[in-house]
Amino acid sequence: MHLSLGFSPCPNDTFIFDGLVNKKIDTREFSFDTHLEDVETLNNWALQGKLDITKLSFAVYLKVKDQYELLNSGSALGRGCGPLLIAKKDIPLSEIDNLTVAIPGENTTANLLFSIAFPNAKKKKVMLFSEIENAVINGDVDAGVIIHENRFTYQLKGLVKLMDMGEFWEKTTGNPIPLGGIFIKKSIPAPIRQQLDQLIHNSLQNSYASYPQLSEYVTAHAQEMDESVMRQHIDLYVNQFSLDLGAEGKAAVTALMEAAEKL
């Protein structure tokens, strides 16, 4: 059975899917047409129902829940791993509503968490996540919401953290931060969906077996990232929740969906 599969080129996703797409595990009768894209591209594709299996921001879940089901394996969810609001200098949080803020996509969980923290901040500028730091530095925007590896690089560029929105979410809800998950079309028969869920779990276990060694597949897609940063990235976004969401993970996703519906 040949299926379309989409995830980001970031180390956490390539680490999870390496074994599956490169057949380092037994993929049974399944083969994959793989698409590595920025998560906002994947979010938009899901609105069109483009891919069979795809990484998505949890923020877009409500918009695609009739067509896609969340799998137990492959999610990015945890504590201390949320998006950061950064700027060139300290700015009082009371002024955020009046600032132009770069966000890494309208349908991203980063934008949702920012909206929960600052519901009256409306002057948003949608940008590719990797361009936000420079937009802040160049003064194109007053502040920016950063994700992924930019968490580890913003200070090196002289930028300052105004707020950790993941920390805000954890303190106000008590839940871990649901960032993104792996979704599969409901039109695929349930037994096959379950098999694919298990394969993603097996693929991640395969990568963990040789970690901290990084495969060529991970390093080739990491956009000139230093290997130490790749490992920081994996350590932050890949964890027990990635192997299995479990009750705590599912409760966190439900809480985020409820918060999104109130906006």
Please list, residue by residue across 34-73, b when 16 or more beta carbons sit within 10 angstroms of its beta carbon and e when fewer do. Answer: bbbbbbbbbbbbbeeeebbbbbbbbbbbeebeeebebbbb
Q: Could you tell me which residues are annotated as the binding site?
A: 55-57, 109-110
Q: What is the pLDDT of residues 128-187, one digit of tens each?
A: 988 999 999 999 999 999 998 788 889 999 999 999 999 999 999 999 999 999 999 999
Strands 177-185 and 68-70: antiparallel
Q: Which CATH architecture has domain 2-78+178-262?
A: 3-Layer(aba) Sandwich (3.40)
Q: What is the pLDDT of residues 182-228, one digit of tens each?
A: 999 999 999 999 999 999 999 999 999 999 999 999 999 987 678 99
Q: Could you tell me which residues are annotated as the binding site for substrate?
A: 55-57, 109-110
User: What mean pLDDT comes out for the span 222-237?
Assistant: 87
Q: What is the pLDDT of residues 113-136, one digit of tens each?
A: 999 999 999 999 999 988 999 999
Q: Provide CATH code, domain 84-173.
A: 3.40.190.10
- 234 falls in which pLDDT band (50, 70, 90)? very high
User: What mean pLDDT comes out for the span 85-89?
Assistant: 97
* Catalytic positions, written as ranges: 148
Please list, residue by residue across 151-175, b when 16 or more beta carbons sit within 10 angstroms of its beta carbon and e when fewer do. Answer: bbebeeeebeebbbbbebbbeebeb
Residues of the chain with CATH 3.40.190.10: 2-78+178-262, 84-173
